[in-house]
Structure 1
Amino acid sequence: MSNPDYLARLIDDDSFEAYLTAEFGPASEFSVERHAQGHSNETLFVTWGDRELVVRRPPPGETADTAHDVLREHRVVDALDDTAVPVPKPLRACDDHAVLGSDFYIMERADGDVLRDAEPERFTTPSARKRIGTELIDTLAAIHAVDYESVGLGEFGRPEGYTARQVERWTAQIEWALETTEAIRAVPELVAVGEWLAENVPEQRSNTLVHGDFKLDNVMYGSSLPPRVVAVFDWELSTLGDPLADLGWLLLFWYEDGDPDPAMPELMSTFTAREGYPTRAELIERYEATTGREFAHERFYRALAAYKMAALGEMFLARHLNGDSDDPLYPTMRTHVPTLAERTLAYVEGDTERL
């Protein structure tokens, strides 16, 4: 990490070692490593004796209201433990801030590969690449098929009106961030996109469990062939609501031949344009065939996804300017967010079919 003191803000070795000893018994080996690929909630890899654990906790410092709720994340992972949706095994949740200075939860570390910047060699055939896409869509369909009442998530959210509230929520997050970021530059296109979304919210046709951040690099594929999703991560934004918002979000991060260079290249890989990967149209077709649900109002849902990503980027920049992160991605949002906002505004105005 660029700041050697940052890990010390995330974890106090003595208090956490005492907690682990009380929960799991003593261990001869104890080490903690920060997972540098995460850009929202913090992920820590912990070795405790012969156990490999993962800790999820919020970032330090002030954050927007309702962001980074790791105990909510734990609740849904725990509820899905015995369903068709693959999740890491949850172990403990803790709201005692005397341990780490925040809420946190612990799960078992899963084994496999996350496809973030490239493919593992075993997945480089056209057939494996096609399977990667179909597995991803089928896993999303499985999430949307969960009987959330029967798994104890009936009170997990207010599904009615979810889509309109998403526009309101991310507008509020943007306004929170702009209190800091407008000191260095304005993003009028982002405001215009928010106004378009508020005026074009479609009727919500179905209610399901939604992940809120479902995309290729938030799932893990197993270490064998054919490709198979073995774990879904990063449930911090999950709730009950409109499943088409999840599909729109996935498509924002799915690159295909002919697309412009990604607006946020550190977060948007391009290897899915290679031979064998499904196109976005094919992913939509698979989703519709699997769920029986039409992806109506595609322009709205894809624009909402870009607006949400721009909001997250603006929040990242605000945390950077406030000194609450050492993540090298965050300062890049000074230019990345305006680029994404400009493209999204052009998309909703009909000037382009591609984000």
Structure 2
Amino acid sequence: MSAPFGPEAFERLDAWLRTHLPALGDGLLHAESVSGGTSNVVVRLSRPDCTRPLILRKAPDRAPPASEKAIQREAMVLKALTGSRVPHPGFHGFSDDAGIVGGPFYIMDLVDGWAADLNPVTDQMSYRPDFIGSDLHYLAFAMIDGIIEMANLDYVAAGLGSFGKPEHFLERQAERWRSQMDSYPQRYPGYERHDRPGLDYVTDWLAANVPDTGRPGLMHGDYAMNNVMFANRPPARLAAIIDWETATIGDPMVDVAAYAGQLRRRSGVQPVRPYLDPAQFPYFEDAVDYFGEKTGRDVSMINYYLVLQKFRMTCILEYKVAEAAVGIAPLDKGRRFDNFVRTLLGEAEAIARATG
């Protein structure tokens, strides 16, 4: 593993930890890179007299300002979740002093658990080999349990009352994501967006069919099996939800659609390219009903959320097509994501038309 910081930054961090996290111990600090590059920098911290290592997370060097803001938001969420039923890494401290390690950072527990891995070639999730058969089946319900706890959290009492803008959250979504997609030709000069059949229909359908059954709650925003940690041994259960940079106060049903939308359905439009093996996981309807039973929320408009989630991902992933078109990314990557975009939009349109 590479050294995560230069000598001076290392000394500044060591001094900050001694002042703010005496529980980490007094011995020689050891810092080891876990990940870095364009994603958040993750550093494992330990001392010989500390029984449990901690994790430091910060934005990468030369990251856009939004990345540093995301670190601050992640820290705010984890601090607010302290003592709650929402599975999360324990929070130990935050600093916005860029003079210590080059940017804002926070310290959290090292989670004892494992995460699924999404293969970029096959687009399939892989799991620990000792989680097979019925254990995989119940991993799906463990995922829904995580959304249930987020949805049931009293976010105002937890200190997240000003964390998002829940008023008219759903009403803003179609315009927000369509505007982002429409901005790519300006953001990537020379890019001419491909024809996207069904885009106007789905945009208009979402604007015209906003449900009035939603209730605001904490939502993760990128909820998937590679963004949680599962307990190391069966039975299937969450050890922690991680990667909170897209969290907000919105409608938790969006997270339900993001995850459960990959599950097979007893009826209706099936996911064309699910990254979950349908034979190993429960039915979509069972997962959604389970969420409704545990939260008391009306799930009758779940198709709206499915259309919204697939539309949202369509608009986001278009930027990868744009990057390939202007030479920032390989052409084969652009073709791959162009297929993703078409598939997602096609599913969104099919669900919208079938719903009426």
Q: 2:351 — aligned with what? A: 347
**Higher CA-based Rg:** 2
The residue type equivalent to 1:307 in the other structure is F
Tell me the matched-pair count.
Answer: 331
Residues 30, 206 of structure 1: alpha-carbon distance in 2 compared, 3 angstrom cutoff: closer
From the superposition, tell whether residues 151 and 28 of structure 1 become closer, same or farther in structure 2 (CA, over 3 Å). Answer: closer
Aligned to 2:121: none
Give the CA deviation at 1:170: 1.9
Aligned to 1:20: 13
Q: Secondary structure at the match of 2:179?
A: helix
Partner of 2:132: 124
The verdict on how the C-alpha distance between 1:213 and 1:81 changes in structure 2, with shifts beyond 3 A counting, is same
Amino acid at match of 2:105: F
- Given that residues 92 and 107 in structure 1 are in contact (C-alpha distance below 8 angstroms), is that contact kept between their aligned partners in structure 2? yes
Task: Find the aligned partners of 2:311 and 2:127 in 1 and give their Cα distance.
Answer: 28
Residues 290-325 of structure 1 deviation map (CA, whole Å, 9 limit, x = unaligned): 112121222211011111212221244556778989
Counterpart of 2:109, as a letter, is E
Measured at CA, do residues 52 and 61 of structure 1 come closer, stay the same or move farther in structure 2, by a change above 3 Å? closer
Corresponding residue number in structure 2 for 1:42: 40
Summarize the Cα distance change of 1:194–1:114 in structure 2 as closer, same or farther, 3 Å threshold. Answer: same
Q: Summarize the Cα distance change of 1:323–1:168 in structure 2 as closer, same or farther, 3 Å threshold.
A: same
| 1:75 CA displacement | 0.5
With the length of structure 2 as denominator, give the TM-score of the two structures: 0.79
| Alignment equivalent of 2:242, drawn from 233, 248, 267 | 233
SS of the aligned residue for 1:281 comes to: helix
Query: Given the superposition, is the C-alpha separation of residues 195 and 77 from structure 1 closer, same or farther in structure 2, using an over 3 Å criterion?
Result: same
In structure 2, relative to structure 1, the CA distance for the partners of 1:165 and 1:204 (3 Å cut) is: farther
1:195 matched to 2:197: no
Contact preservation (8 Å) 1:42, 1:59: no
**Partner of 1:29 in structure 2?**
30
Shift of 1:162: 0.8
For the 8 Å contact 1:143–1:210, the answer to whether it is kept is: yes
Percent of aligned positions that are identical: 24
- The match for 1:314 is 318
Q: Is the 8 A contact 1:249 1:305 kept in 2?
A: yes
Matched AA of 1:135: A
**Relative CO higher for 1 or 2, CA cutoff 8 Å, sep ≥ 6?**
1
The match for 1:270 among 254, 276, 283 is 276
In 1, the alpha carbon distance for the partners of 2:131 and 2:181 equals: 38
- Mark the CA change 1:325 to 1:186 in structure 2 (over 3 Å): closer, same or farther: closer
Are the aligned partners of 1:41 and 1:56 in contact in 2 as well (CA < 8 Å)?
A: no
Q: Relative to structure 1, is the Cα distance of residues 105 and 315 closer, same or farther in structure 2, using a 3 angstrom cutoff?
A: farther
Q: Which amino acid aligns with 1:125?
A: G
Who is 1:217 aligned against? 226
Q: Is the 8 A contact 1:61 1:324 kept in 2?
A: no
Counterpart mapping for 1:70-81 below 5 A: 70-81=71-82
Q: Which residue of 2 aligns with 1:186?
A: 194
Comparing 68-77 with 101-110, which one deviates more in the overlay? 101-110
Task: From the superposition, tell whether residues 88 and 165 of structure 1 become closer, same or farther in structure 2 (CA, over 3 Å).
Answer: same
| Matched position secondary structure for 2:207 | helix
User: Aligned partner of 1:170: which letter?
Assistant: W
Output the CA distance in 1 between the equivalents of 2:169 and 2:283. 28
**Cα distance change of structure 1 residues 243 and 101 upon mapping to structure 2, 3 Å threshold:** same
Counterpart Cα distance in 1 of 2:154 and 2:349: 37
Question: Structure 2: which amino acid aligns with 1:143?
Answer: M
1:279 maps to: 283
Deviation at 1:94, TM superposition (A): 3.0
The equivalent of 1:4 in structure 2 is: none
* Structure 1: distance between partners of 2:197 and 2:9: 45
Q: 1:85 to 1:15 in 2, by over 3 A?
A: farther
- Please say if residues 137 and 282 of structure 2, whose CA atoms lie closer than 8 Å, have aligned partners that are also in contact: yes
Tell me the CA shift for residue 343 of structure 1. Answer: 3.0
Query: d(CA) in 2 for partners of 1:58 and 1:169?
Result: 27
Determine the C-alpha separation between the residues in 2 that align with 1:23 and 1:67: 19
- Paired position in structure 1 for 2:171: 164
Aligned partners of 2:191 and 2:322: how far apart in 1? Answer: 10
Report deviation, 1:59. Answer: 8.0
Question: Equivalent residue for 2:142?
Answer: 135
- In the alignment, the residues of structure 1 paired with residue 294 and residue 136 of structure 2 have an alpha-carbon distance, to the nearest angstrom, of 19
**Match of 1:302, SS?**
helix
In structure 2, the partner of 1:301 is: 305
What's the offset of the Cα at 1:22? 2.0
Q: Is the 8 A contact 1:156 1:240 kept in 2?
A: yes
**For the residues of structure 2 that align with 1:348 and 1:293, how far apart are their CA atoms?**
22
CA contact (8 A) 1:112 1:222 kept: yes
Unaligned segments of structure 1, at least 5 residues: 1-6, 263-267
Structure 2 residue runs without a partner (length 5+): 19-26, 118-124
